[in-house]
Structure 1
């Protein structure tokens, strides 16, 4: 016999909730060959263009080296004032560098700034060799790949610490956005370094002292993170900007010039903040539905939002749309207060579906003898009324 609590119950929000959500925002047609835009505050993906495809990340992959360097400082494997030696391998790199040589011993703090502000390939190798299990950059690269997987970056494989062109050195735009979010959230003590516009190391090479991030200083809230450029990857940028209570993270790649990169990055920031707004939908504790309880001391239990629910919505126009409260019911007793019993599901036009867990407002104990007898009698009566075929 089919158990009554196995039935799927779907309640439209028309009975319990009215949500005023906006019409779809105007789509952004980016010139980048790949892009990913995330509203960090709500977790809403605003754009994904080839976002999951593993691509050459150029110097943007230096963010992974920085993440592992920050971890090492936090857990005591490195100290910011510790001076690290420069190997011949590190000194051999061209491109963007701190112009280090084997006579230098550089503090960890200077190396971190050298990577962030100057995009120093040599600084990456010095840090990599210090943290590698076998003292080599290759060993550190394997560590990078393993740690990336642990952080949820499924489309990232590292062959070096700097993003120097190499077969198989790949990251997806989504992975870079995940990494940017982790850097911002996990290391607030270090994140302000990404907004520094200038770093002159030891007054050696004043020509290479400026941050290449074109958005810093434009007054649009930009405060990070990393540019990248190789012939294979084109011009790219992992960026972030905060305006008010909202923060946006974006990744673009494949632009033809640094000017195009700057223009596209600024346009994406403006689009993200001007075409979308954060809207509070439900207050914590709001009753959204009453779910029937099977064999309980009470016939129903209220489903409530455990915390305030807000989402990102387009700003053009507004119209009411239905949401749904979805749960498997009747719910079998006993029920614990705060137990997750269902979801609030809604889909703002043009944005991904949002699913918010709903919990029991109060506990419902299992019913006593009288309740069990009454429930069994009601079930038997329903089977008689509906016919013998429903009993199977």
Structure 2
């Protein structure tokens, strides 16, 4: 993971991380590895487990789970927290539970899902922690599926961003759910708490407890399709969360740009081939060569093709034969491998003799 300076950026959030999705480049961070209470942001892990179970075929979308008294008391209407308003002893489908968690942030929905999948909240928490270990979430530990205060529950904003990236990358068919603005269940219509959906974000989740403050994990694309992810926690109100999140959204989408040095599929140049049926071969990179950087941050890049020693025929297509050396202000900033764009056969004996003779007179 690389990091680039974002200039003089400030945020009132206690913890924040802004990430370029494709390159995993950190654009801004503040106390990104400090362990904090996750509040409802832990529901992203709950959804990850549900999506995993669906993918494995362990559960079905139309499968019905019962609403236990524990789920009703702890996360239902009487609890005073975020709820899906599930009736006691009713049955609810997995599909509705997913929406109730992602859109309404229902605590009761997470408990019903946990009990339906793992048999109990503690057993489900074990699955959450196993997933956290699998994803390399070094500063996270889960004790319940909803995020209500528990001394054994913690995350970091870096881990939350990693988890969001996992959901986007692994479950693209599920991800549009996070951009839905409302959901009606049992005659009750509720709206998403994500303040950025109206400003171009397409997910993911908000959270709040007295201990954690107001937090958010969000993602959005710019007009060229570049995606950012950011996680922020520790704000003091919904208004502050909305203001700071919009500022982070603007920074991520407008404050940085991709500078393309070599377009994907384009040849970078050519290098000589000794003893070949052709005197040279064109070379290309494995993909697009570009830099993500703050807008207007410096002088233009200069690139040159440098062969890796003498290149001799026969030369197969795709062999690494050169590097694209990229410089700025006279300093080399990157060397990208280059590969033969086509095969070059060995020249015939007469041509090799001629090339050798001609070489003596050059």
Residues 1:305 and 1:236: Cα distance change in structure 2 (over 3 Å): same
Q: 5+ unaligned residues in a row in structure 2: which ranges?
A: 347-362
Residues 1:42 and 1:120: Cα distance change in structure 2 (over 3 Å): same
- Pairing of 1:71-110 with structure 2 (within 5 A): 71-93=52-74, 94=79, 95-110=81-96
Of 183, 203, 219, 1:240 maps to: 219
1:356 Cα deviation from its structure 2 partner: 4.8
Q: Is the partner of 2:85 in helix, strand or coil?
A: coil
Supply the distance in 1 between the matched residues of 2:37 and 2:306 (Cα, whole angstroms): 42
Q: Is the partner of 2:292 in helix, strand or coil?
A: strand
Of 138, 150, 162, 1:166 maps to: 150
1:238 Cα deviation from its structure 2 partner: 0.2
Q: What is the total number of aligned residue pairs between the two structures?
A: 336
Match of 1:258 in 2: 238
Greater relative contact order structure (CA < 8 Å, 6+ sep): 1
1:54 Cα deviation from its structure 2 partner: 2.6
Kept in 1, the 8 Å contact 2:6–2:27? The answer is no
TM-score (norm 2): 0.79
Supply the distance in 2 between the matched residues of 1:322 and 1:74 (Cα, whole angstroms): 47
Of 182, 189, 205, 1:226 maps to: 205
Structure 1 position 312 matched with structure 2 position 296? no
Kept in 2, the 8 Å contact 1:288–1:305? The answer is no
The alignment yields a C-alpha RMSD, in angstroms, of 3.5
CA shift digits 1:234-260 (9 cap, x unpaired): 110001112211221111011111111
Kept in 1, the 8 Å contact 2:5–2:27? The answer is no
1:221 Cα deviation from its structure 2 partner: 1.5
Match of 1:16 in 2: none
Kept in 2, the 8 Å contact 1:280–1:309? The answer is yes
Supply the distance in 1 between the matched residues of 2:58 and 2:19 (Cα, whole angstroms): 32
Kept in 2, the 8 Å contact 1:195–1:224? The answer is yes
Residues 1:329 and 1:61: Cα distance change in structure 2 (over 3 Å): farther
CA shift digits 1:148-172 (9 cap, x unpaired): 2222323221111111211231222
Supply the distance in 1 between the matched residues of 2:209 and 2:334 (Cα, whole angstroms): 38
1:323 Cα deviation from its structure 2 partner: 6.7
TM-score (norm 1): 0.73
Supply the distance in 1 between the matched residues of 2:128 and 2:312 (Cα, whole angstroms): 47
Supply the distance in 2 between the matched residues of 1:55 and 1:81 (Cα, whole angstroms): 36
Supply the distance in 1 between the matched residues of 2:334 and 2:36 (Cα, whole angstroms): 29
